[in-house]
Amino acid sequence: MKDVIAALAIALAAPAMADSYIYTGAWSQHFSGKEYNETNRMLAVAVDGYMAGYFRNSYDEDAFMLARQFTANHGDIQFGVSLGAVYGYRHCLKGWSDSSRRVCPLAVPSVTYTGYPVQPSLMLVGEALAISIRTDLSIFGGAK
């Protein structure tokens, strides 16, 4: 319920924002044969190229991220990469782990179909391919 209230509050604030999006849900497929959480329950907001959000990571633990998005549009296809930091993993690189949670670097390439206000977004996140639903908040009256 908290997620719905947060999403509604963001949507109501959208008219004051240019280039604003909300990402809801994320479903992933990992490349390794190990069993991971693949329903990542993401809720993120992107405004003017800056993104902040929450998701359940591959280990089914809370994770929070901040990133700067860089994009290039080609017709209705947007290519992008988000660079930033994520908190919530117990290891960042192979061979570097312990039981404490830490801040790790984040680099996520993406491809998004932008032909409609509700847009599928495909992302490469570590060892997983994930899909999320991105909504262009200008549909609530914001300028584009």
pTM of the predicted model, to two decimals? Answer: 0.81
Give the residue, 51 or 127, on which the prediction is more confident. Answer: 51
pLDDT at 12 over 80: no
Q: E strands along 31-117, which residues?
A: 43-47, 50-56, 62-74, 77-93, 96-113
Contacts 24+ apart (CB under 8 A), 47-52: 47/17, 47/19, 47/20, 47/21, 48/17, 48/18, 48/19, 48/20, 49/19, 51/82, 51/84
Average pLDDT over all residues of the chain: 85
126-141 pLDDT, tens digit each? 889 999 999 999 888 7
Most confident range, picked from 55-59, 101-105, 117-121, 126-130: 117-121
Stretch 100-127: mean pLDDT, rounded? 93
CATH code reported for the domain at 2-140: 2.40.160
Query: What is the structure's pLDDT at 14?
Result: 47
Q: Closest by alpha carbon to 112, among 139, 128, 129, 133?
A: 133
